[in-house]
Amino acid sequence: MSGRFLFVGKRLILAVPLLLGVVLLVFLLLQITPGDPARQIVGLRASEADVAQVRDQLGLDDSVFSQYARYLGGVVQGDLGFSYKSRQPVADMVAARLPVSGWLVISGLVVSLMITIPLGVWAAIQRDRAGDHITRGVSLLGIAMPSFWVGLMLILLVALPTGWFPVGGFGDTFGQRLNAIVLPAVTLGIAMAPIQIRSLRASIIRCLGSDYVAAGRALGASGFLLVRRFVLRNAASSMVTLAAVQTSFLLFTMVVLETTFGLPGLGQGMVMAAVQRDLPAVQGYTLVFALTVVLVYLLADVVNAVLDPRVEIRG
């Protein structure tokens, strides 16, 4: 047991330099982006004196090192700077948009698991037979389809003919919002499922070849029962790792689908900020996404340590 705590502790300590690196990369965006931020804030017609004053206020004439220290200090206190466009604190914009993205991601993952678990198990049991080939073909098709196009086709084939779902936007009441999230969540699920199916299939097949499953077989378990009782928990560990690896793709798909469906989440915010050339907002959203990924990796390792007592720190 202590070994596991040690592992989690080491993992936490290892995350610190990664977090610092992430903040550094986001900070460097300011340095590689051409143009004078102060000029952007005050507008093209402002005088040089005004520009100089804003530069002074923002500390843009300080050394890069002290600017980084100030940025890092702000981030630690939850201060992500002010948007050039809305003049709001970026942290407030993030906070307002976070729940929308959260709901989309959670419901999208639920949908993807509803697709992945039956198909992945079926493909593994039917290895090299019809079910396996059908699942594989469906996955290939799923990988080849751009998520935003799938979303538009769902609007075209489901939302427009039936009128059950809005073609975009989020709504004000809880009911409207629930309704607005259905098609984006289904689209997100379809986008995530193919890679999950492949991975679940592979890890079930690996487990099916092991000794404890042979023991299960000897006890008379077979088919779905065998998989449910003896395999899934063992296959879960590699699924947790996959979920972490998939996070980056998940977040990107979320960004694309929020824009497709007009959902006011973090992704739509980031795209709008990028189009409007709102540097602090882009930095803020990038940082939030990056921190999410770092935390998910951390969480995945911790969960795996709990699920599987054999986990040790990897080289």
For another protein, the binding residues (CB under 8 A) are: 18, 21-22, 25-26, 29, 32-34, 140-141, 143-149, 152-153, 155-156, 160, 167, 247-249, 251-252, 255-256, 259-260, 270-271, 274-275, 277, 279, 282-283, 285-286, 289-290, 292-294, 297
Query: Quick one: tokens of 40?
Result: 């952007």
CB 221 within 8 A of CB 197: no
Shorter beta-carbon distance to another protein: residue 55 or 198: 198
**Among residues 238 and 247, whose Cβ is nearest to another protein?**
247
Distance CA 69, CA 236 (A): 41
- 221 Rama sector, left if φ>0, alpha if ψ -120 to 50, beta otherwise: beta
Closest to another protein by CB, 81 or 216: 81
Taking the complex as a whole, the smallest distance from the CB of residue 166 to another protein amounts, in Å, to 13
Rounded to a whole number of angstroms, the minimum distance from the CB of residue 28 to another protein is 9
Six-digit token pair at 242? 């996959």
What is the DSSP code (8-state) at residue 82?
Answer: B
Coil, helix or strand at residue 89? strand
Q: Which is nearer to another protein, 49 or 130 (CB)?
A: 130
Q: Is the dihedral of CA 195, 196, 197, 200 positive or negative?
A: positive
Minimum Å gap between C-beta 48 and another protein is 25
CB of 308 to another protein, least distance (A): 22
Give 53 or 248: the residue with its C-beta nearer to another protein.
Answer: 248
Taking alpha carbons only, the member of 305, 296, 298 closest to residue 109 is 296
- Please state the φ and ψ torsions of residue 21, each to the nearest 5 degrees: -60, -40
- The minimum distance between CB 140 and another protein, in angstroms, equals 4
